Each structure stands twice: as C-alpha cells, then as structure tokens.
Amino acid sequence: MSARFAPGDRVRVREWFPPGHIRTPYYVRGKRGEIERICGRFNNPERLAYGRADDPKVLYRVRFAQTEVWGRAERPSDTIDIEIYEHWLEPDK
Amino acid sequence: MDSHPRGMHDLGGEPAGEIDRAEHQNDFWEQRVDALMRALGTLDPPLVRTDELRRAIEGIGADAYDSMSYYERWIAAITEVLLEKGVISVNELSGKIAEIEKREAE
C-alpha cells in the first residue's frame, strides 16, 4: 500500500465541491489537520455509490483542532477525528 | 463556501432541532426493510451496497427526504437502485403493488 501521507503529516482538506455522493463532511473542507493513522485501503465510496468497486484509495484518520473546524471550542485542546480518503487531502504548506 | 451546494443530508454543524433520544420499537415492515437491505448486500457482488443506498437516499429530493421516515427513505432508495439495475421492472413493481392493494381491500 503506497500511502502519500504518514502519521504526523500536516494536511489540508481540499476545498472542493463536486457533485455526486461524497463522504467528506462539508464542514471540514478547507480545514487543516494532522494524519492520526492510516486506516487501510478501501474501495472509493464515491464510485461504490454508483455500483463500481474498482477504485481503491487509502483512508486516513485525520485529527483536527475543534478551534480550526468551528472557530471555537469548549476547551482549546479539544479535537475531532474524521476519516478521509487520500484524494481529498493535500499537504499543508 | 456558502455559494457551494451542500447536500441536504450533510448537516454537520448546522442547527437541526432536538434529537429524539427516546427508545422506540420499529414496526414489522421496518424490520423487513432492514432485513431486505442486509439480504441484498450479502450477495456477491451485492445487489445494493450501503454506498448505493446512501446515494439514492441523497437523490430523493429535499421535500420527500424531509417528510419521509427513516425506513421510508430506505425502501424508496432500495427500489430506485433495483430499478436502475434492471433487477425489477416498473411493470413488475406496479403489478405487485396493484395485487397487494386488491388483496388488502378484500
């Protein structure tokens, strides 16, 4: 499994709004986080949704600061983990 | 961001009213819909995948989506995917519905 990112890498979710079935929540697009782990390689749900099990992608668990996602948090240290496919992530420069 | 379309189902962070946390029984027909979905998903290849179910639910249209119950959305989506794939035809479906309506009326 050749993964583009490794645990600890800083990434940004693509600010991307394609049509179709998408499993990257709207609220996290464009936000910056850190790779928490590589979950494995799974068929891309964006293709599975239309009956095609032909597009394996690496899935990552990405950790975001709640302050980054919502602009505020009950405690500044609060985080949220979201599982996101590789094609939705870019390196955070 | 706000100029971009947001799926009606993609409500994270939006106000969405109170969540009913009460335990509730499902009706028998709802249990059957659930069982049907599991049966369709265990075939190889699956006739209806979870991802296909979700996609079809997202395509129901906002008004119907909001007015339907959870399992009403499921059965509408299962029907949609089975029609798309030609597993069932509109004729077969409407014939069966008419047959059941007749039986129920007797």
Name the residue in chain A with its Cα closest to that of B4: A17
Alpha helices in A1-93 (DSSP H): 45-48, 66-70
Between A7 and B10, residue with greater pLDDT? A7
CA distance A49 to chain B (A): 4
**What is the pLDDT confidence band of residue B29, given thresholds at 50, 70 and 90?**
very high
Q: How many whole angstroms separate alpha carbon A23 and alpha carbon B76?
A: 21
Q: What is the mean pLDDT of chain B?
A: 92
Q: What is the pLDDT of residue B3?
A: 65
Q: What is the pLDDT of residue A32?
A: 98
| Token pair recorded at residue B67 | 């007015």
- The residues in B 16-55 lying below 8 A from A, measured between CB atoms, are 45, 49, 51-52, 54-55
Contact criterion met (CB < 8 Å) for B7 and A22: yes
Query: Would the pLDDT of B4 be above 80?
Result: no
Contact criterion met (CB < 8 Å) for B52 and A50: yes
Q: Is A73 on the interface with B (CB under 8 A)?
A: no
Q: Which residues contact A19 (CB under 8 A, 6 or more apart)?
A: B5
**Average pLDDT for residues B63-74, to the nearest whole number?**
93
CA distance A41 to chain B (A): 16
Query: Would the pLDDT of B37 be above 60?
Result: yes
**What is the pLDDT confidence band of residue B11, given thresholds at 50, 70 and 90?**
confident
Contact criterion met (CB < 8 Å) for B12 and A49: no
Contacts of B7 in chain A (CB under 8 A): 22, 26
Query: Would the pLDDT of B85 be above 80?
Result: yes
CA distance B6 to chain A (A): 7
Query: Would the pLDDT of B2 be above 60?
Result: no
Contact criterion met (CB < 8 Å) for B54 and A49: yes
Q: What is the pLDDT of residue A79?
A: 97
Name the residue in chain A with its Cα closest to that of B80: A50
Q: Is A27 on the interface with B (CB under 8 A)?
A: yes
Q: What is the pLDDT of residue B16?
A: 79
Q: Are the C-beta atoms of A61 and A89 separated by less than 8 Å?
A: no
Which residue, B55, B5, B92, is CA-closest to A50? B55
The overall longest dimension of chain A from CA atoms, in Å, is 43
Sign (positive/negative) of CA torsion B103, B60, B92, B29?
A: negative
Query: Would the pLDDT of B1 be above 60?
Result: no
Find the Cα–Cα–Cα–Cα dihedral B10, B79, B49, A27, rounded to 10°: 0
Residues of chain A predicted below pLDDT 50: none
Name the residue in chain B with its Cα closest to that of A19: B5
Which residue, A81, A84, A19, A93, is CA-closest to A58? A84
pTM of the model as a whole: 0.89
Query: Would the pLDDT of B57 be above 90?
Result: yes
Residue type, A45: P
Q: How many whole angstroms separate alpha carbon A57 and alpha carbon B72?
A: 32
**Average pLDDT for residues B13-31, to the nearest whole number?**
90
**Average pLDDT for residues B75-82, to the nearest whole number?**
97
